Amino acid sequence: MDGAARGAYRDALFSGVPIYTTRLVRERTFSFPTRDQVRSPADAAAVLAEYFADRDREEFVVVFLDTANTLTGLHVASVGGLAASIVEPRQVFKAAVLANAAAILVAHQHPSGNPEPSREDVAVTRQLVEAGKVMGIPVHDHLIITDRGEDGRPSYTSLAERGLV
């Protein structure tokens, strides 16, 4: 088949099939207190407490990390109500792939002030860890953040510290 015939065949074969392009677009920026390496759950919690401050609904965010564990971006994967936020692994990893993340950590806040993980939090964490293994994008932690405590530091629970990541 010559080039013209091959082109006509291809056009006939694929006529009506949409062709998509996906782009990652920066919506806005947020001034994090540091762009240093995230070396511990406390480092991540300190950064994310600033982001979550004054939010009255649960937000589930994905934090993109490079190979040196430096924060490179943040994606809001889900916004919920007062008590829950539904997150799908495909949304988490779609954003991570587009951002060229070497690894991620995920976090959400509990506006109630209770940093204890729910059964759903643990189940989502397990799903994300397994999906991360398949995708080659490790999930370093899942943090649950609440308001700052009396000492000025955020109150948080690290599911990695509890052995769930």
pLDDT digits (tens, 9 = 90+) for 57-78: 888 999 999 999 999 999 999 8
As for how many domains the chain has, the answer is 1
Q: Is residue 21 part of a domain?
A: no
10 has pLDDT over 80: no
Q: Is residue 127 part of a domain?
A: yes
| CA torsion, ordered 148, 116, 59, 28, to nearest 10 deg | 40
pTM confidence score: 0.79
SS3 of residue 14 by DSSP:
coil
Give the CATH number of the domain where residue 129 resides. 3.40.140.10
Degrees, nearest 5: CA angle 44-72-25: 125
Q: Is residue 13 part of a domain?
A: no
Q: Is residue 114 part of a domain?
A: yes
Report which listed range, 20-34, 60-74, 78-92, is most confident: 60-74
Q: Is residue 138 part of a domain?
A: yes
What pLDDT sits at residue 56?
79
Q: Is residue 69 part of a domain?
A: yes
What pLDDT sits at residue 37?
73
155 has pLDDT over 70: yes
**Residues in the chain, overall count:** 165
Q: Is residue 17 part of a domain?
A: no
Q: Is residue 143 part of a domain?
A: yes
Per-residue pLDDT tens over the stretch 92-147: 999 999 999 999 999 999 887 888 999 999 999 999 999 999 999 999 999 999 87
Mean pLDDT of the chain: 84
Q: What is the extent of the structural domain holding 63? A: 27-158
What pLDDT sits at residue 114?
84
29 has pLDDT over 70: no
- Give rounded-to-5 percent helix, strand, coil for the chain: 30, 25, 45
